[in-house]
Amino acid sequence: MSTDLIAEARRQTEICNACRYCEGFCSVFPALTRNKAFADGDITHLANLCHNCRGCYYSCQYTAPHEFALNFPAILAEVRQESWERHAWPRPLARFFHECGVAVAAALVAGFALLFGMLQALRPETGHGFYAYLTHGAMVALFLPAFLLPLAALAISLRAYWREIGGKRLQWREVVNAGKSAARLKNLDGGQGQGCNFEREDRYSDRRRWFHQAVMYGFLLCFAATSAGTILHYVFALHAPYGPFSLPKLLGVPGGILLTAGCAGLAWLKTKADPALGAARVWGGEMAFVLLLGATGATGLALYAATGTAAVPVLLALHLGTVLTFFVLLPFTKMVHGFYRFATLLAEEQKQHR
């Protein structure tokens, strides 16, 4: 943990706690009032509770050129980023991705797409749909470890983070309450129900919340579609390709549309936001993650639209390469923020009611 970073975060936190002008803002500020002194774990908890809506910055009377020079959203973003990188396993890969994210993601997508293109030379003699180009066994052999190993690495990092912020054994009530807050993306309304200041400075907007919800529910629908296909394949012996009114398609197509549109919107908003109010060092890595996540939805939709055409082999290799890259990089990209923030919401429930 960076001593200088935590010291500066503690300085700004103590000033905010003394002022309390922003007490009605997002969940960070009510959480501040529980303490007079802040341990390192408390600072990390507050940083991951923050959603970088930036309303506090535009309301603050102590920002530069005042001698206090507060920039609370930026310092919390730096601590938050540092906590993800510090707990990541293996640790060096997280920092490398966030600082060279576009190049890393592009290289992996191209490399994996080439691999899947080469595997198509070993296509089976029989098969329908995508399996006419790549066997089911080959896809399982590649994607199963690429899915399970990153999840295991993420579980290791979350366990260390949970201990740092003082998390305890969970109760069902805490899980339900945290789930409700996460489902509504409550903290993206700035705590006052009028939106956040992410991209329009001192003017409020709900666009970031809408795009985040599109991404979240789009991703969940795509995951549900994949799960439905897996159950149909292994439990009911109903193999792909599936018809347009099958459960995988009814879940996957809307999910892909929401995911693609939401990521495009978030990337657009990111170009409008002031990088000085976030973790400027990792701007490229964050943008790379948003584009990579959006590309998984866009290439999937393109592949579905091209069914039965000569474009299928190329689009299949590109889509599978993009999805495999997303899985492999999962513990090192901003995808971890969803897991960390849910863990933080769980810890916040505990701190409020125990």
Cα–Cα distances in Å, from 95 out to 82, 98, 304?
9, 5, 35
Domain end, chosen from 65, 84, 103, is at: 84
Range of the domain at 60: 3-84
Same domain, 245 and 144: yes
| CA pair distance 38, 33, nearest whole angstrom | 11
Residue found by looking up tokens 């923020």 in the block: 337
The pLDDT assigned to 346 comes to 95
Number of domains in the chain: 2
Same domain, 166 and 36: no
Domain end, chosen from 84, 114, 142, is at: 84
| CA pair distance 326, 106, nearest whole angstrom | 11
Say what the pTM is: 0.91
Same domain, 15 and 117: no
How do residues 164-214 score in pLDDT, each as one tens digit? Answer: 999 999 999 999 999 998 888 877 776 666 788 899 888 888 999 999 999
Same domain, 21 and 139: no
**Count of other CB atoms within 10 angstroms of residue 33:** 10
Residue 196 backbone dihedrals phi, psi, to 5 degrees: -120, 180
Question: CB-based contacts of 285: which residues, under 8 Å, 6+ apart?
Answer: 97, 98, 99, 100, 101, 102, 333, 334
How do residues 6-59 score in pLDDT, each as one tens digit? Answer: 999 999 999 999 999 988 888 899 899 888 889 999 999 999 999 999 989 999
Q: What tokens does 255 get? A: 């999910």
Q: Are 45 and 344 within 8 A, CB to CB?
A: yes
Q: Is 244 helix (H, G, I), strand (E, B) or coil?
A: coil
Query: Which among 327, 319, 326, 329 is positioned nearest to 120, based on CA atoms?
Result: 319
Dihedral angle computed from the Cα positions of residues 276, 278, 279 and 282, in that order, rounded to the nearest 10 degrees: -90
Same domain, 242 and 329: yes
Domain end, chosen from 84, 103, 125, is at: 84
How do residues 104-141 score in pLDDT, each as one tens digit? Answer: 999 999 999 999 998 887 776 666 667 778 887 888 89
| CA pair distance 185, 213, nearest whole angstrom | 7
Q: Is 337 helix (H, G, I), strand (E, B) or coil?
A: helix
How do residues 326-335 score in pLDDT, each as one tens digit? Answer: 999 999 999 9
| CA pair distance 286, 337, nearest whole angstrom | 11
Extract long-range pairs of 132-138: CB within 8 Å, 24+ residues apart.
133/312, 133/313, 133/316, 134/316, 134/320, 136/233, 136/239
Same domain, 174 and 63: no
Same domain, 18 and 157: no
Same domain, 153 and 299: yes
Residue found by looking up tokens 């197509």 in the block: 253
Same domain, 60 and 103: no
Same domain, 50 and 141: no
